[in-house]
Amino acid sequence: MHTIAAIATPHAAGGIAVIRISGDTAISVAQQCFRSTGGKSLAEMSGYTCVYGSFLDTAGSELDDGIATVFRAPHSYTGEDTVEFSCHGGIFVTRQLLETVYAAGVQPAEAGEFTKRAFLAGKMTLTQAEAVMDVIGAAGKRELAFAHAQQNGALFHRVQQISQGIVRSLGDLAAWADYPEDEIPAVTPESLHAALQPVLEQLDSTLATYDYGRILQSGVSAVIVGKPNVGKSTLFNLLSGSQRSIVTEIAGTTRDVVEEQIRLGNVTLRLSDTAGLRETEDVIEQMGVKIAEERLAQADLILAVFDTTRPLDDDDRRMLEQLPEKPVIAILNKSDQSAQLDTDELEPHFSRVITMAAREGSGLEQLQQAVEELFYQAEVTPELGIVANARQKQCLEQAREQVQLALEALDAGELLDAVTVLLEEAANALLTLTGERVSEAVVNDVFSRFCVGK
């Protein structure tokens, strides 16, 4: 395939930067950009060897010194001939070296193109390729364990098992059609139904892992809400370890949503601080309130904050009514001062109530514990495989729908041909999931979400 190149390391100053060149002419084009100190040509080198020398600029003058590593097809990440240049990690130096490589006749790599080539070369399945980005994005030990399990084919195998169930039923249907009347093996609509029911259940249990997969991958979207001045921004700053959100004693301080990704124990939160919820004449504050209400609807987790130094009032009560049906943790803040809040009215609304003094930093352990209880699913093991993204979920939903329709068709006594068509569609949806039978458009879509250089 035509030769591509990209910077594989972050586009920032660093100790070393790596430029990866992969494709049919990788070694010869790399040779045009590099002179080894000992006079060795890259063409003479075997795979997995490296050599020290100088990188050249487009005019052929020395640009930097560094290391070139040669990989020989098929033993490389992409399965193609590959050369990696490790140069000094300056943004300008790296960019200049990349220009030299382009000038030697190499195309810029598209997002995810190296991994796409690895997939097309049969080095990995589509779900394994998707897991590469999850390894990069993993925020902690557990996230990494799940990404590694996916890289090892956890979901792939789980889906293959489901496929086998469908294929077995398709085989039975074919036998039914092929045998003359009197030789029909023991295939009946009832037996087909009994064989497909577990398939439906496997699809459901696999689909059920999606919510957890999403949280592992992108974190829990959490929103801090409450009436003005209860200490939402103080809590936000405490959790994010920053002073990003402005804190004052004036009610109505926060208007824009302030966001940070934070780690609380074993859980990543995408945390938003919002404007205090109240009825107000101030147009800007009204807009802040509106955005806060939208966030409330989208969040996975709500941290509802109350000020214990004041009795519950109408603003608090209005907020209580606005809380959607989703995980909520009530935070009784300012516990360092004498309490005026009667918690009896609050408790029926919340299964988790935590007393804190955000300004002092107390109550954080209890909050962490509550969040982990809600979102850290220790019992889910990585090896079983989880649905890691929306594309995979969509394929499973499609398969589920077809199997469901097939079951209904069987019950309704419809022609077995109709059942066959439905099951073939279900099997196809699963082949799309694993990438075993997938359109170019789907493949392109998957890899377009990757970073350039991966």
Ligand X SMILES: Nc1nc2c(c(=O)[nH]1)N(C=O)[C@@H](CNc1ccc(C(=O)N[C@@H](CCC(=O)O)C(=O)O)cc1)CN2
Ligand Y SMILES: Nc1nc2c(ncn2[C@@H]2O[C@H](COP(=O)(O)OP(=O)(O)OP(=O)(O)O)[C@@H](O)[C@H]2O)c(=O)[nH]1
For ligand X, give the closer residue by CB, 126 or 341.
126
Span near ligand X by CB under 6 A; candidates 59-67, 73-81, 223-231, 355-363: 73-81
Span near ligand X by CB under 6 A; candidates 69-77, 184-192, 361-369, 417-425: 69-77
Q: Determine, following the binding rule CB under 5 A, whether residue 254 of this chain makes contact with Mg ion.
A: yes
Span near Mg ion by CB under 5 A; candidates 2-10, 201-209, 248-256, 350-358: 248-256
For ligand X, give the closer residue by CB, 69 or 432.
69
Q: Determine, following the binding rule CB under 5 A, whether residue 233 of this chain makes contact with Mg ion.
A: yes
53, 66, 219, 231: residue in contact with ligand Y (rule CB under 6 A): 231
Strands (E), 309-454: 328-333, 353-355
Q: How far apart are CA 200 and CA 188, in angstroms?
A: 18
In 263-359, which ranges are continuous DSSP H helix?
283-298, 314-322
Q: Least distance (Å) from ligand X to the CB of residue 363?
A: 42
3-state helix, strand, coil split of the chain in percent (to 5) is 45, 20, 35
Peptide linkage before 74 cis (omega within 30 of 0) = yes
Q: How far apart are CA 246 and CA 255, in angstroms?
A: 10
Q: Determine, following the binding rule CB under 5 A, whether residue 150 of this chain makes contact with Mg ion.
A: no
H or E element that contains 162: helix 154-178
Q: Which residue is nearest to ligand Y (CB)?
A: 276
Q: Determine, following the binding rule CB under 6 A, whether residue 271 of this chain makes contact with ligand Y.
A: no
Q: How far apart are CA 124 and CA 120, in angstroms?
A: 8
Q: Determine, following the binding rule CB under 6 A, whether residue 74 of this chain makes contact with ligand X.
A: yes
3, 76, 237, 402: residue in contact with ligand X (rule CB under 6 A): 76
Structural contact between residues 72 and 44, judged by C-beta atoms closer than 8 angstroms? no
Span near Mg ion by CB under 5 A; candidates 147-155, 164-172, 253-261, 413-421: 253-261
Distances (CA, A) of 209 to 136, 212, 213, 220, 362: 21, 6, 6, 15, 34
Span near Mg ion by CB under 5 A; candidates 124-132, 164-172, 246-254, 343-351: 246-254
Interface mask toward ligand Y for 327-366; x: CB under 6 A: ------xx-xx-------------------xxxx------
| CB neighbour burial string for 343-360, b if at least 16 within 10 angstroms, e if fewer | eeebeeebebbbbbbbbe
Q: Least distance (Å) from Mg ion to the CB of residue 272?
A: 11
34, 77, 85, 156: residue in contact with ligand X (rule CB under 6 A): 77
**Residue 171 neighbours by CB under 8 Å, 6+ apart:** none
The 8-class DSSP code of residue 340 comes to -
Q: Least distance (Å) from Mg ion to the CB of residue 132?
A: 39
Q: Determine, following the binding rule CB under 5 A, whether residue 272 of this chain makes contact with Mg ion.
A: no
In the complex, the residues that contact ligand X under the rule CB under 6 A are 71, 74-77, 84, 123
